[in-house]
Amino acid sequence: MVTVSLDSIVRNILLKRRYSLHWYLEFLLYAKECLREISMDDLQVVNFVMLPVDANGAANLPNDYLDEVSVNLPVGQKLKPLVKDSSITPLQAFDSDFALTTYQLGATQVASALIYNNVFLSGLWNTTTFNEYGEPTGRFFGIGAASPTDTYNIIKSRNQIQLNEALTTSSIILAYIGNGTSSDAATQIDPYAEKTIDTYCMYLFKENNRTYSPSEAKMAWDMHIQQRQILRARMSDLTVNKIRRIIQSNSTGSIHN
């Protein structure tokens, strides 16, 4: 995949407008702000990173993290996705020496839950009714249900991913959307966004420069909006065939009076 860097974009802006390199740092700042903005909703470059998990089942989020796409366990060549569980507490547990530790739900509670599900509720089998085809008609509310262990929660206040305590692993693979400002973001800018960053830099340059009038800054902003619309159209994977399939899948035959 062909990509561009902020350095090449900024240098092209300066060369096309015959500005010296004295303006490089200012335009680089403008370009960085634009990249951060369009990475949230237009580009949405998905990054993959392997994160080590500490003894308390937590992993630190990347510095450029915005939103997670998936959290996975590496299983050979494949990825086993984990399920997000917002009930996992963001508070950490400490022992008597104020050292971080796990909550340790304990084998007693787990065993009691299994006994409750598999032994106590087994008496309901005698009251379950069946129809004439041998099919159960109900009364199986939650029987055999156990608490899943392949869960996680994103704790932004701690800048960590907290895994379920019952899940034992040394690393996880996080697929996430970054803000485009990490150290390797220079190799991940889509060429479709080059003109959008160009117009945004000129808008901020005219907005913060006293030699330009508000109307000129407004014209520069309108040009940026036009380029951003073009960027969204280019990044969209919607085709005529997809639109046709959407219409066909939502069309059903009906009887008309």
Q: How far apart are CA 161 and CA 61, in angstroms?
A: 7
* Cβ partners under 8 Å of residue 142, min gap 6: 117
Whole-angstrom distance, CA of residue 140 vs CA of residue 123: 12
Identity of residue 253: G
- C-beta of residue 48 within 8 angstroms of C-beta of residue 173: yes
Q: What is the pLDDT of residue 185?
A: 53
Q: What is the pLDDT of residues 186-234, one digit of tens each?
A: 556 888 888 999 999 999 999 998 889 999 999 999 999 999 999 988 8
pLDDT at 120 exceeding the cut of 50? no
Residues contacting residue 171 through CB under 8 Å, at least 6 positions apart: 50, 51, 52, 53, 59, 74
Residue 136 has what DSSP assignment? Answer: B
Residue 59 phi, psi (nearest 5): -130, 140
Place of tokens 């919607």: 238
CA distance linking residue 208 with residue 206, whole number of Å: 5
pTM: 0.62
Cβ(85)–Cβ(57) under 8 Å? Answer: no
Q: Identify the three-state secondary structure at position 157.
A: coil
pLDDT bracket for residue 103 (50, 70, 90):
confident
Cα–Cα distance, 23 to 81 (Å, whole number):
46
